[in-house]
Amino acid sequence: MKIQAALIETKGEPFNICELELEPPKQGEVLIKIAACGVCHTDEVARQQIIPVPLPAVFGHEGCGTVLEVGPCVTEFKPGDKVGFSYGYCGTCEACRTGRPYGCIENRRLNFGGVQFDDTKRLKKGDTYVSSFFGQGAFASHAVVHVNNLIPVAEDIDLKMVAPMGCGIQTGAGAVLNYLKPGPDSSIIITGCGPVGLSAVMAAKIAGCTTIIACDVVQSRLELALELGATDIINSREAESVQERVCELTGGLGSNYAIDCTGIGVCVRQSLQCTRPLGTCIVLGATQDLTINVEEDLMGVGKTLAGLVEGCSIPKIFIPQLLDYYRKGMFPFDKLIKYYPFEEINEAFEDTKKGSVLKAVLYME
């Protein structure tokens, strides 16, 4: 079938919405009419080939939509079902079999290799096959997606609300609720108050942390962090020492936990140094190089430094949980979202890059 999709043919170029051919779903796949798709930093780093993805490609990996057709052997979904999208996994490796699909041995192939579950492609421009990001390619009017990537969506949820949950939001919230699981008397500093960091702030409030410190250089984001559950804020552009301020707020001990969402090596080290002995620092940003003194910053004080994938989330379980928190007014992630028509995809990316919008979501007619 003919579809509209935002195509990238060379590194870093603007998105070009054009007509592509989408082949029918094969075994274990469904055809989806896309309703909306979140704009994520991971799309941008892949477009810039910082994370290499075979080009030409259709990006977009936080999609949602309605099932139009199911392929052979699909029993979990039927035409008319509302679904959200998340990352792909094989379902058979050791990590998948032990309930940790976020550590799937096939993660890179299924999400960054440009191919579907069976290692083939469904999109074509003329005679040239086109890669689909995360096995979705959700910056499009339609997509063929494997059932492993899909999350059922209840009828009472606005489908467009589900779009940003498949990656960034579940990553921030999952780092707290799935991995750290902090006690109600604990303290945490979250550095980088974009959608990932602010999702972590909301999750820390749900977990009952008594000291939730948000750190950023943009004052408006810090004010929103207070609205979403932070107990204290630090503007690191103005503070003489973030580490000393955290110590002041935690009785001189440092925080129990730190989450760094910046992707900046010096900020990761700062986050690690803000934790107390035996503390844990989580890295969620796509950080490149990091320099630490292992004795002083890590081993000598018994700290843990961990990098997480997708917030250790099992999307079919965790995203419905987050939506339930949203229903109860405990996870107001809608305050992060600004919607753009699909045709304004380049503007949405530019606004995200400038920081004038927290979470851009494209909606398709």
* Stretch among 60-69, 168-177, 211-220, 282-291 having the lowest mean pLDDT: 282-291
Q: Are 243 and 273 in contact (CB under 8 A)?
A: yes
Domain with CATH 3.40.50.720 in the chain: 169-309
For the segment 87-103, the average pLDDT, to the nearest whole number, is 97
Residue 41: what pLDDT?
87
As to burial, measured by CB atoms within 10 angstroms (0-12 exposed, 13-18 middle, 19+ buried), residue 251 is exposed
pLDDT tens for residues 22-53?
Answer: 999 999 999 999 999 999 989 999 999 989 99
Task: Report the topology of domain 169-309.
Answer: Rossmann fold (3.40.50)
Domain with CATH 3.90.180.10 in the chain: 2-166+332-363
- The answer as to CATH 3.90.180.10 being correct for domain 2-166+332-363 is yes
pLDDT tens for residues 315-347?
Answer: 999 999 999 999 999 999 999 999 999 999 999
pLDDT tens for residues 127-175?
Answer: 999 999 999 999 999 999 999 999 999 989 999 999 999 999 999 999 9
- The proportion of the chain whose per-residue pLDDT surpasses 90, expressed as a percent, equals 92
Residue 365: what pLDDT?
76
For the segment 196-221, the average pLDDT, to the nearest whole number, is 97
Write down the mean pLDDT value for the chain: 96
